[in-house]
Amino acid sequence: MYRTNPFRWWNVLAFAAVITVNVLSHLLPLGGKTTKQISDQYYIYITPAGYAFTIWSLIYVLLAGFIFYQLRRDTGTRDSVEDIGIWFILSCIFNIAWLFLWHYLYIEWSVGIMLLLVLSVLVIYRKTRSIHYPTTGETLFVKLPFSIYLGWVCAAFVVNVGIVIHKNGWSPIGLTELGWSITLLCIGAVLAILISRHYRDSILPLVFVWAYLAISIEHKDVDKILLSSFILAAILFIYAIWLFFARNRERD
């Protein structure tokens, strides 16, 4: 008897809702301001150059690939898809909630929801990394989308934390804004290394490289930020290359 994934159509609806709210956030826009205008309103030392956010287009294209993959009769009932369960739907709910909170300037609450988004995508990521001998389809439509998605939401979470610190005028452990900005960059790099190391995932740290290079370009006039973000990007790039070859050696 043909099995069906009980979440497959809910996944479609949840993803459609995310795309719809994202489009409306730009067209209306939600709260009267675009996402970029709010980002400019809370501009900090680790705000990346605007082009960095185009990665969302790639993420949504890849997630659309996952949606179609999990709808197909021959692939939608694979364990790699069914193990994701309700977590993709939850990630969509948190994504939408973040957009509303961000656009209506509930910045502190938006960080809490962003953390839930990170955790939900992390659960999916860990499930997809347990696929030991993935098919080409599983590599492209199950593993890859959530590697890039997790990398970006982790980087975005670090920036969001910085915005909350800036907005409230906090000085964590007595650090200046420049000091805690560099500290957050280092924390993000460590996070990328810790998450990707166990799974030999060379893609996730490359997402941080993308973000950090965009930060260095945006703040090229601030020497310490330029140097810190560029050095961390270089370290993560070299690390990603090492992971790539380490994974291939283990396969051999």
Mean pLDDT of the 200-211 span: 97
CA 53 to chain centroid: 11
**What is the tens place of the pLDDT at every residue in 83-131?**
999 999 999 999 999 999 999 999 999 999 999 999 999 999 999 998 8
Mean pLDDT of the 128-139 span: 89
**What is the tens place of the pLDDT at every residue in 144-185?**
999 999 999 999 999 999 999 999 999 998 999 999 999 999
**What is the tens place of the pLDDT at every residue in 2-42?**
457 889 999 999 999 999 999 999 899 999 988 888 989 99
Contact 215, 46 (CB under 8 A): yes
State phi, psi for 219 to the nearest 5 degrees: -115, 40
Mean pLDDT of the chain: 94
Mean pLDDT of the 50-57 span: 95
3-state secondary structure (DSSP) of residue 84: coil
159 in any annotated domain: yes
2 in any annotated domain: no
Instruction: Give the residue from 61, 47, 49 showing the smallest Cα distance to 18.
Output: 61
Mean pLDDT of the 126-145 span: 92
Q: Is the pLDDT of residue 74 over 90?
A: no
Instruction: Give the residue from 99, 85, 92, 151 showing the smallest Cα distance to 122.
Output: 151
**What is the tens place of the pLDDT at every residue in 213-246?**
999 999 999 999 999 999 999 999 999 999 999 8
Domain hosting 53: range is 8-251
Q: How many domains does the chain have?
A: 1
Burial of 57 from C-beta contacts in 10 A (0-12 / 13-18 / 19+) = exposed
Interatomic CA distance for residues 226 and 56, integer angstroms: 24
Mean pLDDT of the 185-204 span: 96
What's the pLDDT score for residue 2?
Answer: 43
1 in any annotated domain: no
Amino acid at residue number 102: W
State phi, psi for 76 to the nearest 5 degrees: -70, -15
The owner of tokens 């860990």 is: 126
